[in-house]
Amino acid sequence: MNAVQADCDVADGQTVLQPSAGPADARAVWLDRQQLQWPGADAGAVAGSRFRLVHSAGGRLVLAKGQAVQGADAAFVLGATQAAEPAPRFKHLAAGARLRLAADDAAQLPALIGGQWALVHEAADATVLDATSVQLPALLDDLYAPAQQLAQLGVTVQAQATRFELWAPTARAVTLCVYPRGSGHAEAARMLQRDDATGAWRHTEATDWRGRYYRYLVDVFVPGTGWVRNRVTDPYAVSLTTDSQRAYIANLNDARLKPAGWDAHRAPDKVQANTDMVVYELHVRDFSASDASVPPAHRGKYLAFTDTASRGMRHLRALAQAGLTDIHLLPVFDLATVPERGCVVPRVPSAAPDSPAQQASVMADAARDCFNWGYDPFHYSAPEGSYATDPADGAVRIREFRAMVMALHRAGLRVGMDVVYNHTAAAGQHAKAVLDRIVPGYYHRLDANGVVERSTCCDNTATEHAMMAKLMTDSVKLWATQYRIDSFRFDLMAHQPRAAMQALQREVNAATGRHVNLIGEGWNFGEVADGRRFVQASQLSLNGSGIGTFSDRGRDAVRGGSAGDEGEALVTRKGYVNGAAEGPRDEAMRLADQVRIGLAGTLRDYEMLTWQGQARRLEQIDYAGQPAGYASEPGEVVNYVENHDNQTLFDNNALKLPHDTTGAERARVQMLAAAINLFSQGVAYFHAGIDTLRSKSLDRNSYDSGDWFNRLDWSYQTNHFGTGLPPQRDNQSSWPVFQPLLADKTLPPKPRDIAWARDAFRDLLAVRASTPLFRLRDAAEVRQRLSFPNSGPQQNPAVLVGRLDGAGRADARFGELLYFVNVAETAQTLMLPELAKGAAWRLHPAQARRGAADLRAREARVDAASGGFTIPPRTAVVFVRG
């Protein structure tokens, strides 16, 4: 065994080969291969001064103020002016010296790209006034632009040949370590060869190495540390061994990586446009960890979805038959925080429903337990191992993931993925950082000092950089082609450029030969807010793109309050379904208008008569200083009233509804919110368990709250409300409000309440599925076919009324449809004489059928003589005619 091969067996992730004491900050920025900018530096402040770019291959620069530069083996004098206008890609940069490298000097950069760089401002006597490292991404994008066309990053396996390719332009050496198993000694070490045009390193072995494992030794300079040898996995890994220690060599077309029937199976043909999507957001572990009808070995695993007789799969099939189209899985790529073997199941004590003891037990083991939402990406293109029955075998997680997808497809459901390309679990030289340990300083977004931005909670990636955008696109293409993923939800998508998302859409569609539905969070915040760095993939900036964003407009109007509420605000800030509609009239009408905005698809150019008596386009109506209507087409909005974030809808209503509200009425209120969502134009999105009154015992952020606070019960006996105070970490300020509610034995729903909500939800799904009038694909049709009787200053704000005109559409099924949502505690009669005329209205078949859940809907009456429509209390009713 040679020395390099022996180094493959060293467990430690990093060896410092040559320490460096140079500057670790990076206050200057490359703009392209010839230009730099140093914000804050004044090009003409010091007479006779100059700017130089200095380099040391060995990392030996000494840059002490008041002394001459030492240790440089190359230096370039820069032309300097004071920047007046920011460069388009760098409009976030503060004013400062704009520096230019001579063309001949710029030509030398590729030969010097590795090693230590510094930008120095020197006095006339050549002593240092100031010095800083330089942010490299734009330089690397310019020098190595051809890398964007690389088609084979990662591993490519063919008959008797295995090819490895890694983009690492600043490395001085890359070594491949190959292992026969996921543990044990290396069997081979190979030096990769650098392609100077792309900055990629390659090696082709004339051997079929599939089924083996690998990692790299990357010798690279890290500012502030020096030359290091990083033992690191591949950012393009398609699978891994336990706890992601080694990457797996695979040809994803191998038969042994496919469950029986994989090639022949097809996804359900249920969605032709975004607006056809009705989504159920589900966590793999939540789905089956507590389901006794699933074999023990499959609980919390991918394979639980293949147990067709389980309670959970029977539940999903029933939803699919009623009209659900998509299951969206919370992150299932390789995660950083869940132990893939030997995770702990906390021993939760039996304690009072308002006790802190349960959460104390759960949180004591949170770092070692089997649960996390998974918004902590490690490897973007490999399935998570904790959901596989054998995480040590790289083939198993691939095969079982595919088996899950195929089982859901066969159940009549498309499969979506929640993807998190806006941040990684770690950056820098952290053991669970992959990208930064291969190309330091490139893949993440940096602040003015060169420190990684963390506005998303974690280390923000920078998809404005070409190779990070490529990694994102290549990853989505892999999931869509190799795992047949039908749709994607992008976490904090507004931290990515609109252009990157549109390019991704084009490439993924081309790779799959079909339209892949894209939706995401368009929240506008952080260092990229208001377009500071690029045109964002945000609510206000994505209109016209065809990509959907989640709407907070309808969500907050229906639920009440906002995502940041705590303590008493959770009780007092009521929503349309849980009290506000029967409060002060002006506020009730304003809120009813906010709900109508959602019903109209949040469309910019939809015109509505407001509660103040004005005809306004939705973009002219104010929402917290923004246009309430922001979408150009209905497929660009995702309507929801509950998802994994914040309290569940049941918990939200437990806080806001009057104390004496019965369990049956609480279930009705829950279904009123669901009805509003299903009647709204756009994508309909639901959190798993909304139909079973799911509770997380009031937890506002259950991302690491273990199985205990995230349980689902497919036996429909309990919703787990009152199973202890939620974790202190995110809830303690609200504990005084929570305790009396959790202790109240009248609040947990009875099994009959859960069963009613389950069945009522399916009936509402069937209503939406029955006609494309609820799923109109373009804004012009929404304007033409949707109107809101009972709007304006004379409205009854407790009743929403929507009319959908089916004239001229052969597929509409109904000539006309009229829906009512009465949120009041009493029956309401509306006088709508123009609508009462003509052919008789009849209850929608899904609500009129024998066995329909909501018997109260049958009490709705239409008096053709008077034009009166009487709607029972807390009931959603749909009439049809023609």
Asked if 505 and 537 count as a contact pair (C-beta separation under 8 A), the reply is no
- What are the C-alpha distances in Å from 585 to residues 589, 798, 829? 6, 10, 17
Give me the DSSP letters along 398-447. Answer: HHHHHHHHHHHHHTT-EEEEEE-TTEES--TT-TT--STTTSTTTSB-B-
Non-local (6+) Cβ contacts of 25 within 8 A are 132, 133, 449, 450, 451
Name residue 548's beta-bridge partners: 519
Question: What angle do the packed helices 649-656 and 735-743 form, to 10 degrees?
Answer: 90
Asked if 824 and 582 count as a contact pair (C-beta separation under 8 A), the reply is yes
Q: How far apart are the first and last CA of the chain?
A: 82
Q: Could you give the angle at the alpha carbon of 186 between the alpha carbons of 183 and 190, nearest 5°?
A: 140
Give me the DSSP letters along 274-311. Answer: GGG-EEEEE-HHHHHTT-TTS-GGGTTSGGGGG-TTSH
Quote the CA–CA distance of 199 and 467 in Å, as a whole number.
Answer: 11
Q: Is 811 a catalytic residue?
A: no
Q: Is 651 a catalytic residue?
A: no
Quote the CA–CA distance of 596 and 751 in Å, as a whole number.
Answer: 33
Q: Which member of 234, 326, 521, 816 is catalytic?
A: 521
Strands (E), 436-595: 459-460, 487-490, 517-520, 548-550
Cα 578 off chain centre by: 29
Name residue 220's beta-bridge partners: 171, 228
Q: Helix (H, G, I), strand (E, B), or coil: what is residue 737?
A: helix
Give me the DSSP letters along 525-546. Answer: -GGGGGGSSS-BSSTTT-TTSS
Q: Which member of 122, 281, 376, 491 is catalytic?
A: 491
Question: What angle do the packed helices 751-769 and 311-322 form, to 10 degrees?
Answer: 40
Catalytic residues: 491, 521
